[in-house]
Structure 1
């Protein structure tokens, strides 16, 4: 057992200031952090408890919603405005973990969960994410759950969150508070980072920077689908997932927002795929072309080569469902 300091914050400003050290960590639900501490993969010298801060509301904000960082996954998935206007987010949340964990897991913490790479969790394995510069035993190892897009020679891990994939498709924005009292608001696309030569850094957050809220834009309408392909029906992370928001007007695709999970170190989005769909009539050939655009730089690692073919089949199936292609008799 490693000793650490504990502080219970009474305000967001106090929390950010207390956690400004590089080895301090915020704790809310603790559904991932506590597991990592038990295995001594995370060894913070200080825990800052933010679980009692007033960051739990889901409120109207302009034409969209403002979600407090401490709203639980269960409450967010069940919120009537989310279910009605952002069903993609509700479905993604309900696809993750178990009911018990969703009751504890927070919105802010969900973004910050760490990879479930087996080598990251095994202290005897070499892992650049856990010990920078030590090497990566995943490369050349058992790679069934690993990345096919955006990986580097230093890390092939994937990001585990379902919620973050939905937020990426929704163009959510993150609001944060820094230890110096300044705030910023940015698109969720700028939260996570690809591994490059610094796989130990999962996000672009600064030490002590606290996520205080998530903002959703005005409802987009259209068909919203979250398709998660996994080894078992519950309590399993995605092999691949597709978050899709598609709107068809006058027989052509007017809106296409797509994000992908289980394939990269970040919730993945490719503007070229979306652009290829816009103003086009739904068809099996169009959807197959979109999949090829997405996968043009995909690289399997042996055991996970199947993910490429799996996505090649899953994305067209999701797009066909979103556009009612089968209902119109097209042999997609």
Structure 2
């Protein structure tokens, strides 16, 4: 377990602690894609993400075919600070590998973890922390809808963890067993209109005969407060396996702590061809409490209260300006 301890210590002491909250009122799941968000779940939040899947692979040149079932799972916890998250992620698969021969067909039953990783993620930069300081234009709804160039600056997080692979695992390269490091750099852009773009750059099983480099690009779009659709591409490169996978799917927010999702996975080659379908759920146990800063000054407490009232009034005025502008447009059109 030493690599895990070193990873957490590295993340803690090479980053500056933040006092801004990453907690959200509704669940923020990494599903149904396989990329990690740059944001943590928030302190004292326990989040479980899991789901079964069906997989079918066909390697035409080698005359091999694999079909079976599996389950993805992740447990996430916001620890100590808003920027820090520890998590356990894994995939367990049970399948049948068929080797076609001129005379007969050989079946091999297989089951094991395709991966099992314990790690920690820490956000080192968040351009959205001071978003509340941006004042809306109270006189122009159109001005508030303009593209914000600042949204091109992503939030950045780093991840470090340790894989554990058992001996003679059928899903890894020969000789790969025990612990191996995994690191990643994660970026996330939150654009207006409900668009989110996530990039994961990953170096996995470092120092083994299956030292993968992976990139994952995920684009999601909120159709409304309940429905989200996404598209994703994942590139994998190592001496053991290389592929370009594509995923499409969506998620439904049942309530603020519970999400349902589904996705399809496929590629465009035959060494092997890949087709998969998964269903999943995400659920959180929310014990989060916002930290209140009390400096013992009633005068400053009163000042903060007045500032909140002023901000609320500005929001009301902004709504009024939107309605007036819409009425003005409708009158011009008529």
TM-score bracket relative to the smaller structure: under 0.3
Normalised by the length of structure 1, the TM-score is 0.22
Greater share of helix: 1
Greater share of strand: 2
Pick the structure with greater CA Rg.
2
